Homo-oligomer: A and B are copies of this chain.
């Protein structure tokens, strides 16, 4: 039986993680996401599911704990907000390189630097193109509601294990801090030892006689092997592009213009669509749910239908590059954003649409 609750996004992802059979959470406090760990500490899942919750000494330690836990075939996760996620870049690159499954939550605030603790979406590049070094990609899920904060915990673990790849939930201060109603999934047990052996035969749970030793590493001093490894990673990312694209469309059937927006911005843009339609402007919304893989094909298709696209982001304009690449610059694509912690209003979005796309 599904359960209905009023929860913060930060709480929802925590509760959903417990229910998804998460084995371990490792984190460090930072606004606006500290409720993730606080909720877990309050729930004491070690007494129920056996899940370990540990406050690390830093984000660097936390992400490396995730590396250690993931190496054992466990479902492990961490969460932070922008500056903390930047500190984790080396660890994330290692995790991607060693092909470890894990869940990372970024409840984005405005940057750069210490910036502001208010919501923003200015970590898009970092999340989708690789903020760490080397050729790697995260699978990036962008929730637009508290419900999705909950849903993406389970989905995130599933995809992480399917691809042996870190999955990032790219949220923001709005989604993390707001309460909405959530339908919670029933509890799913943690992996048993047998399941770990079966599902993650590469994991380091102790070398038994029936197999060679398992090694978790991202190192290859031999460049030819390393190149092979990177090629293998590239194939994996290709497979994600083919199989894992997720998005939502609103009122696109007859649209002459399109807004592309994710997360909080998508919610606001949805309202903007209503307002614009009330004014007689035929506009639709495409909401990428996965930011990597980016919904290139549906966008390319819509590009043959609409006259122009407004990319709405709480940033100086990052996703807009992916939108342009997706539509191969065939139609006009403009960016509209507020930033530094400011959330645009639906009216501003409509005005930007009118000015930059329809009028422009």
Q: Which of A303-317 contact B (CB under 8 A)?
A: 315-316
Q: Which of A48-56, A174-182, A227-235, A349-357 contacts B (4 or more CB under 8 A)?
A: A227-235
A243 at interface, CB cutoff 8 A: no
Instruction: Write out the residue numbers on chain B whose beta carbons fall within 8 Å of the beta carbon of A339.
Output: 135, 226-227, 230
Residue in contact with A116 in the complex, picked from B60, B226, B340, B342, CB distance below 8 Å: B226
Contact B134–A131 (Cβ < 8 Å): no
Q: Is the CB of A90 within 8 A of B83?
A: yes
Q: Is A108 an interface residue (CB 8 A)?
A: yes
Which candidate, A202-210, A212-220, A247-255, is the interface stretch facing chain B? A212-220
Check: A191 CB closer than 8 A to any chain B CB.
no
Q: What's the number of copies of this chain in the assembled complex? A: 2
Is A200 interfacial (CB-CB < 8 Å)? Answer: no
Is the CB of A189 closer than 8 A to any CB of chain B? Answer: no
Structural contact, B116 and A94, CB atoms closer than 8 A: no
Instruction: Tell me the A63-114 residues at the B interface (CB within 8 Å).
Output: 82-87, 89-90, 93-98, 108, 110-114
User: A330 to B329, alpha carbons, bound, how many Å?
Assistant: 8
User: Does A338 interact with chain B (Cβ within 8 Å)?
Assistant: yes
Instruction: Say yes or no: B83 contacts A135, CB within 8 Å.
Output: no
In the assembled complex, the CB of A251 is this many whole angstroms from the nearest CB of chain B, namely: 27
Instruction: Kindly supply a per-residue 1/0 record for chain A positions 248-271, scoring 1 wherever the CB is within 8 Å of any chain B CB and 0 otherwise.
Output: 000000000000000000000000
Q: Is B93 a contact of A112 with CB atoms below 8 Å?
A: yes
Q: Which residues of B contact A130 (CB under 8 A)?
A: 112, 125-126, 131
A191 to chain B, nearest CB (A): 24
Name the one of B118, B135, B340 contacting A112, with C-beta atoms under 8 angstroms: B135
B328 touches A135 (CB 8 A): no
Q: How far is the CA of A179 from the CA of B132 in the complex (A)?
A: 29
A204 CB to closest chain B CB (Å) equals 16
Q: Are A134 and B117 in contact (CB under 8 A)?
A: no
Residues of B within 8 A of A123 (CB): 133-134
- Residues of A bordering B, CB below 8 Å: 60, 82-87, 89-90, 93-98, 108, 110-118, 120, 122-123, 125-126, 129-136, 217-230, 233-234, 315-316, 318, 321, 324-325, 328-330, 338-342
- 8 tightest A-B CB contacts, nearest first: A111-B134, A113-B218, A97-B113, A112-B134, A223-B341, A226-B340, A227-B340, A82-B133
| Sample (20) of A-B pairs whose CB atoms are under 8 Å apart | A83-B90, A83-B133, A86-B93, A89-B89, A89-B132, A93-B111, A111-B218, A112-B133, A112-B135, A113-B217, A113-B219, A114-B217, A115-B133, A116-B220, A120-B134, A122-B134, A125-B130, A129-B129, A225-B340, A230-B316
